[in-house]
Amino acid sequence: MPIFFYTALNSQQQQIQGKLSAVDSRKVLQTLKKKKLKPIKIEAEPDIKPDAVNDNQIVITDVFWWQRLKLKQQIFLFQQLALMLRSGLTLLQALDVCAEQTTTGRLQTICRALADEIQMGQSLSQAMAKQKAFTAMAIYLVASAEASGELDTVLENLVDYLEEQQEIKTNLMTSLFYPVIVLALSVVVVVYLAVEVIPSFAKFFVQRGSVLPESTQFLLNVSAFFQHYGVWLLLAITVSVVIGVFFYKTPTGRYCFDQQLLRTPVVGRAIRASSLSQINHSMGLLLSSGLSILESLKIVSGISRNQVLAQQLQQASAKVLQGRSLADSMQHSAIPNIMPHLIKVGEKTGSLDHVFKELSDYFARDLKVQVKRLSAMMEPVLIMVVGSIVGFVYYAFIQALLRLSGG
């Protein structure tokens, strides 16, 4: 039987180390919980680690967003695999059926590549790591499921997680779609008025030779500015955007950008709720699948969309390793107080995975509220902005026409 080395905290928050013989890491976790120990790290003996989550066996490289399978494709794949495994098919048979059912070329290629790797003696998690199409979380969850023999159950849990992320993404996109369209149309209208409509009226006013009202003269000056310097203005905006994108891709730039997003009124709260919902759901899923707190924090910090929160998770991991409780380690200005308070309860009762799932549901509900609030605020503001611009143009020209007809 494999031997596992563990690091855990006792009731006095003292760090202790030891070893246990168990079938897999999940059994070690259960044994430690019965002893009222809080596991921090669990590792199998180097020479005997065939069924555990092993960094030597599973080499996970950075996967860029454009390399990953789309959420819908991942949901389809894991859903079909879970259904067919539960129906009694082998993993190879399930992958072959998935490859035949899908109409997406890339997903079909990945299914067949996974089947080829498994036929060569690799596990599903090892095969997934080689494809560069899945997140580290999905790979580690599958590895943990392979160790516990509950692959179909874990795949169903993974599908639920991905469906929730898809719903969050859809809600955010839907709430922002209308404001973005209105803003884009307003920019088009302003540019058209400045470049085409106003110059035509300007020629008419100049020919009459009368003194124009200040509002009309201001409008003509703005139009002249766009005509003379419009190209340079567009070039400056393009260069600024390119520089901003390059800066955003740096660790410092991404951190600064995410920090400012969190500080933005209404929008920042919606983004925080979205990120925290993902983080808590991920932590709950990983812990319930048998991974330790340190392993879970490491994985979730790598998949977190917000770098401020990701860095906080990394710092929390280091503090837990030093012997501090997870609740104390999660104290941060970017994290609402409810989170460390409930985590503290979960640590005392030994139900951290359930607490994280409850927190995920809480932040998901908060996100829906913030999205509705954002939509309710954005629509009237944009209507007022666009209406003010168009109204000012009409006001300026009507004033000019009235003065010309009176003169």
Output 280 or 43, whichever has higher pLDDT: 280
H or E, element range at 3: strand 3-9
Say if residue 384's pLDDT is above 80. Answer: yes
Say if residue 22's pLDDT is above 60. Answer: yes
- Which pLDDT tens digit goes with each residue over 67-84? 578 888 888 889 888 899
Cβ-Cβ contacts under 8 Å for 28 (sequence gap 6 or more): 4, 6, 20, 22, 39, 42
Considering the segment(s) 157-407 as one domain, its CATH architecture is Up-down Bundle (1.20)
Mean pLDDT of 131-149: 79
Cβ–Cβ < 8 Å for 303, 135: yes
Q: Give CA–CA dist 177/226, Å, rounded.
A: 28
Output 147 or 311, whichever has higher pLDDT: 311
Q: What is the pLDDT of residue 406?
A: 64
High-pLDDT (> 90) share of the chain, %? 7
Mean pLDDT of 386-395: 82
- Which pLDDT tens digit goes with each residue over 330-374? 888 888 899 999 998 888 888 888 999 999 989 988 888 888 888
Mean pLDDT of 121-140: 83
Q: Give CA–CA dist 383/202, Å, rounded.
A: 27
DSSP state of 69: P
Domain ranges of the chain: 3-44, 71-134, 157-407
Say if residue 242's pLDDT is above 90. Answer: yes
Residue 332, by phi and psi: left (phi above 0), alpha (psi -120 to 50) or beta? Answer: beta
Q: Give CA–CA dist 111/17, Å, rounded.
A: 41
Say if residue 150 is exposed, middle or buried (CB neighbours under 10 Å; 0-12, 13-18, 19+).
middle
Burial annotation 334-359 (CB, 10 A radius, 16+ → b, else e): bbbeebbebbbebbeeeebbebbbeb
| From 124-128, 205-209, 277-281, the region with the lowest mean pLDDT | 205-209
Q: What is the pLDDT of residue 52?
A: 39
Q: What is the pLDDT of residue 47?
A: 45
42 beta partners? 6
Structure token digits, residue 23: 């079938």
Cβ–Cβ < 8 Å for 360, 337: no
Output 56 or 162, whichever has higher pLDDT: 162
Look over the chain and give the mean of its residue pLDDT values, rounded to a whole number.
80
DSSP state of 197: I
Give rounded-to-5 percent helix, strand, coil for the chain: 75, 5, 20
pLDDT band (50, 70, 90) for residue 24 = low
Which of these, 284, 67, 271, 65, lies nearest to 161 by C-alpha position? 284
